[in-house]
């Protein structure tokens, strides 16, 4: 299961040099956060450097231990503890056709609930949980279904955490900041539903903070990448629509920003995910003007990474490569990504090679 499919079957345009050690993390590698829960997926890590090591802030998606004929799913109660809801599988009020979401009595729930866990490594390949660093769990009524897919951006000595906050009220962007990964300050929900995939730039431009984000509009519009600016990193305005889905292409149904934009001599380079109507997730890239990121200079037509590894094609939700974390070292981009919504993997890219694919 762990070997990579024959090179000849790789997408023509795939630029990723996958780690031979992939997957780096499997659900069985960590212990569940409470009894009665099982880890279903380890995925979509935020990535940063701290104390000379590479760190992952991994999304840990947990489900309830299941029994035959009954569906159990978790939610956080008002005191922040996980509560298990139990529904007979033959209940006519239950719609469970997607592995990720269910609808019960007309209300939406997730099949898993996610928290964020810190792991560190001195070689960027072997990650373990260090002692003395807290896990981050959803808090309050806006995070009742958990927190997911955290981007980590460092400005000065402050790390900005922007993550998906999920509840029965909708899916929005939550923020926390930290300087030492032990004490966290909550910025609350910075972008209300429906919004996710928020990545902050790691420097101010013209004295302002900038971020990419992905509001969704059901009736008119779609799942597009937007840009926002802020005087303080907390209050966001002057929203502008940057990158849209493209009919007939691999990113026809949704697009969303990956990790923090990468400064290059040609502009800000952003790696993003795109999905088609079949929920197949690939990665592409676009370039923004260095002084005015609302100006798009170029975008890849073909994806730069396509699910090809066995661990990318099948898992909790197959045919998915999804990234929201990387480390930059000169021309070398070390990207960590979620494969098939179940595993954490790594890949190297050459930044100049990505730039050469932009048109
Ligand atoms: C989608 C998927 C899930 C995620 C929910 C809420 O359904 O990305 O993995 O849990 O949205 O964000």
The per-residue pLDDT for range 126-136, each reduced to its tens digit, is 999 999 999 99
pTM (2 d.p.): 0.94
Using the predicted structure, report yes or no on whether residue 327 has a pLDDT greater than 50.
yes
Structure tokens that stand for 41 in this block: 């997926």
pLDDT of residue 20: 98
Topology annotation, domain 194-359? Tachylectin-2; Chain A (2.115.10)
β-strand partners of 273: 256, 283
d(CA 185, CA 177): 5
Structure tokens that stand for 98 in this block: 């997607």
d(CA 44, CA 323): 6
- Check if 173 has its Cβ closer than 6 Å to any atom of ligand 1: no
User: Does residue 210 contact residue 288 with C-beta atoms inside 8 Å?
Assistant: no
Compute CA 102 distance to the chain's CA centroid, rounded to the nearest angstrom: 21
Mean pLDDT, to the nearest integer, of 167-195? 97
- Check if 171 has its Cβ closer than 6 Å to any atom of ligand 1: yes
d(CA 54, CA 352): 23
Which tens digits make up the pLDDT trace of 217-264? 888 999 999 999 999 999 999 999 999 999 999 999 999 999 999 999
d(CA 61, CA 114): 4
Which tens digits make up the pLDDT trace of 69-125? 999 888 888 887 888 899 999 999 999 999 899 999 999 999 999 999 999 999 999
Using the predicted structure, report yes or no on whether residue 7 has a pLDDT greater than 50.
no
- Check if 347 has its Cβ closer than 6 Å to any atom of ligand 1: no
Structure tokens that stand for 57 in this block: 């802030």
Q: CA of 333: how far to CAs of 25, 110, 205, 270, in Å? A: 20, 33, 23, 12
pLDDT of residue 43: 98
CA of 323 to the centre of ligand 1 (A): 14
pLDDT of residue 5: 43
Mean pLDDT, to the nearest integer, of 39-51? 98
- CATH 2.115.10.20 location in the chain: 194-359
Q: What is the mean pLDDT of the chain?
A: 94
| 258 burial via Cβ count (<10 Å: 0-12, 13-18, 19+) | buried
CA of 76 to the centre of ligand 1 (A): 16
Query: What percent of the chain has pLDDT above 90?
Result: 88
Nearest to 18 by CA among 295, 348, 356: 348
Protein residue with least CA distance to atom 4, ligand 1: 100
């Amino acid at each position: 299961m762990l070997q990579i499919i024959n090179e000849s079957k790789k997408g023509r345009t795939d630029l990723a040099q996958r780690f031979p050690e992939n997957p780096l993390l499997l659900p069985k590698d960590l212990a569940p956060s409470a009894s009665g829960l099982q880890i279903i997926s380890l995925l979509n890590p935020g990535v940063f450097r701290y104390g000379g090591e590479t760190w992952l802030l991994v999304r840990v998606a947990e489900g309830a231990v299941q029994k035959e004929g009954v569906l159990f799913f978790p939610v956080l109660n008002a005191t922040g503890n996980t509560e298990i809801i139990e529904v007979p599988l033959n209940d006519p009020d239950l719609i469970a056709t997607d592995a990720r979401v269910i609808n019960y009595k007309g209300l939406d729930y997730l099949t898993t609930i996610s928290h964020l866990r810190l792991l560190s490594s001195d070689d960027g390949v072997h990650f373990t949980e260090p002692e003395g660093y807290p896990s981050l769990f959803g808090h309050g009524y806006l995070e009742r279904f958990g927190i997911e897919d955290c981007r980590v951006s460092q400005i000065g000595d402050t790390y900005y955490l922007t993550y998906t906050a999920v509840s029965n009220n909708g899916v929005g962007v939550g923020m926390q900041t930290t300087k030492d990964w032990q004490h966290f300050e909550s910025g609350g929900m910075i972008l209300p539903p429906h919004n996710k995939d928020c990545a902050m730039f790691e420097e101010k431009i013209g004295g302002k903070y900038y971020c990419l984000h992905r509001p969704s509009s059901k009736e008119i519009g779609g799942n597009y990448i937007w840009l926002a600016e802020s005087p303080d990193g907390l209050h966001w305005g002057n929203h502008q629509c940057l990158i849209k889905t493209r009919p007939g292409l691999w990113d026809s149904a949704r697009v969303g920003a990956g990790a923090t934009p990468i400064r290059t001599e040609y502009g800000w380079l952003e790696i993003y995910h795109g999905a088609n109507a079949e929920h197949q997730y690939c990665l592409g890239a676009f370039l923004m003007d260095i002084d005015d990121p609302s100006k798009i200079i170029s975008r890849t037509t073909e994806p730069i990474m396509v699910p090809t590894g066995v661990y990318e094609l099948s898992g909790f939700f197959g045919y998915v490569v999804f990234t929201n974390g990387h480390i930059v070292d000169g021309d070398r981009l070390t990207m960590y990504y979620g494969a098939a919504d179940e595993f954490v993997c790594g890949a190297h890219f050459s930044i100049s090679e990505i730039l050469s694919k932009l048109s």
